[in-house]
Amino acid sequence: MADKSYKAELVGVYGCPVAENPTVIMEEAGFKSLNLNYRYLTMEVKPEDLKAAMESLKVLNMKGINLTIPHKVEVLKYLDSVAADAEIIGAVNTVYVKDGKLYGENTDGKGFMISLKEDGGLEAKGKKVVIFGAGGAARAITVELALAGASHIIVINRNEERGLALVKLLNDKTPVKAEFAVWDHIFKVPEDADIVINSTSIGLYPNIDEKPEIDYSTLKNHMLVCDVIPNPPQTAFLNEAQKYGVKTIDGLGMLVNQGAIGFKIWTGKDAPVNVMKEALKKEFEV
């Protein structure tokens, strides 16, 4: 009885809206599997309350927090220290508390990089990348690819201003050569591309029949085709790409691995990645 403790360690996510965020499913499956007395709380925090919510991490002696829409950029103001890659990306999705200070990380792009290597069998170094989208996910992924030595990144986006801003950021702050093409036509993938990524929200549940407007016949079997959409994992984009003989990786790998990095930061333990992935897969089947 002497070493029994009923005290739970607290982590979670702040977002608005946040009700549909599935991270609790994988994090709690991981805690349970390692017998850790941790709770992951899905909390609605309004933009005007973010400062107070970040202060409460210390008051409640929490281990840390994930940030989702609309807090990932705004939260930078309330942190004591931000990791170098998150600083370039300009957004933080994972915070931990240490010695009364708040530290920010961005695990989205890192989760993609782990999936690229483990599920796709590829290293970024020297690779030519084509990415559709220039939002938060694309920023995180392209900065990590660039820092890992990708040679060339082509950003394709519908909104020109956003696409150009991402390319400027990559060219100014990383060693990669980046260029932009506006997405107002059926895009033909250059033959020398190594990695092709959908980083838009096209195909996300419930719009599961939608896929990016590209000329799929320009996909060649030396290319690795990646989707960031985690739900459903097998998107219409990946279905169509597979008809052309390419290898593909889905967004579930990125999602689980970015969550696994947070798990390790907060608990100090290696995350049971397969347990977490199975929990999410089961959840998305419903």
Would you state the structure tokens that stand for residue 267, as one six-digit string?
């608990």
Alpha-carbon distance values, 282 to 12, 15, 22, 251, 285 (Å): 21, 23, 11, 15, 5
> Least CB distance from residue 231 to ligand NDP, whole Å?
7
Where on the chain is the footprint of ligand NDP (CB under 6 A)?
108, 111, 133-138, 157-159, 162, 200-202, 204, 228-230, 251, 254-255, 258
> Which residue of the set 72, 110, 127, 277 is catalytic?
72
SS3 content of the chain, % helix, strand, coil (to 5): 40, 20, 40
- CB nearer ligand NDP, residue 107 or residue 174: 107
Listed residue (153, 55, 148) closest to 97, CA to CA: 55
Axis crossing angle, helix 108-118 with helix 136-147, rounded to the nearest 10: 60
Q: How many CB atoms lie within 10 A of CB 70?
A: 14
- CB nearer ligand NDP, residue 98 or residue 168: 168
Q: What is the DSSP string of 20-52?
A: T--HHHHHHHHHHHTT--EEEEEEE--GGGHHH
- CB nearer ligand NDP, residue 146 or residue 254: 254
Alpha-carbon distance values, 164 to 129, 179, 185, 194 (Å): 16, 8, 17, 22
> Least CB distance from residue 133 to ligand NDP, whole Å?
4
- CB nearer ligand NDP, residue 64 or residue 233: 233
Residue 243 bears catalytic tag:
no
- CB nearer ligand NDP, residue 97 or residue 228: 228
> Least CB distance from residue 132 to ligand NDP, whole Å?
7
Q: How far apart are CA 276 and CA 281, in angstroms?
A: 9
> Least CB distance from residue 98 to ligand NDP, whole Å?
25
> Least CB distance from residue 246 to ligand NDP, whole Å?
19
Catalytic residues: 72
